[in-house]
Amino acid sequence: MKKITLAASAIAIMLLGSSCSGKEGANETAAPAEKKTVKVESDTFEPTTNIRYYNMDSVMANYDLVKTFNEANLRTMTELQNAQRSREGELNRMASNIQQKVQSNGYLSEASYNADMSELNKKQQAAQNYLGSLQAKAQEEALRQQEEFIDSLNNFLAEYNKTRHYDAILLYAPGELFNPALDITDDIINGLNSRYTRAGVKPEKETK
């Protein structure tokens, strides 16, 4: 750490001289003390402004890995919705048939009615289990994607900063004020997408 020499004003010491004799020293005053500069050496922390920041919303909106995740999640959500509609349709048809048979006295015995209701309950439970498993898998995949994204970002930033030697790369948040000249969001997005492409994954072209 650099030693910084600090210039300090010396303490002025007023020397009060006593008069030697009545005539000669009656109106004499002491000369002001000479000011001295004292050099003080101290180990101090050298402040730095060598920082940069980036906008996470922009990174997530433009990083091709996140776009791939979003496309996969959209497919998963569509499959889940289709499965839910299919199971609900089947259960509604079974319940409607049972109701119609009850109203038309179609059941010859209570046992046959109970058998149909038992089958309906089994299908309801099976549908709930199936849809629950799909939702659980979707949540697990979302967590895995989040971890992969964070690892990818952190690894890139560590590699990125090896040649730039920033003291800190901060995450922008609403309400914070930064000099726009310190914004490296575009650099991060371009670097992430370049690594993603080199890894052998080519982003799909957006369809309009």
Query: Percentage of the chain with pLDDT > 90?
Result: 66
Q: How many helices (H) and strands (E) does the chain have?
A: 4, 4
Residue 202's pLDDT band, with cuts at 50, 70 and 90, is low
**Res 39 pLDDT > 50:** no
Rounded to whole angstroms, the Cα distance separating 68 from 204 reads 8
**Res 198 pLDDT > 90:** no
| This model's pTM is above 0.75 | no
Asked whether 145 and 68 are in contact (CB, 8 A), the reply is: no
Rounded to whole angstroms, the Cα distance separating 98 from 114 reads 10
| β-bridge partners, 137 | none
pLDDT tens profile 109-144: 999 999 999 999 999 999 999 999 999 999 999 999
> What's the gap between Cα 87 and its chain centre?
38
Mean pLDDT of 7-21: 36
- Strand (E) positions, the chain? 3-9, 37-43, 51-54, 168-171
**What is the bridge-based pairing of β-strands 168-171 and 51-54?**
parallel
Q: Which pLDDT value is given to residue 48? A: 60
Asked whether 30 and 14 are in contact (CB, 8 A), the reply is: yes
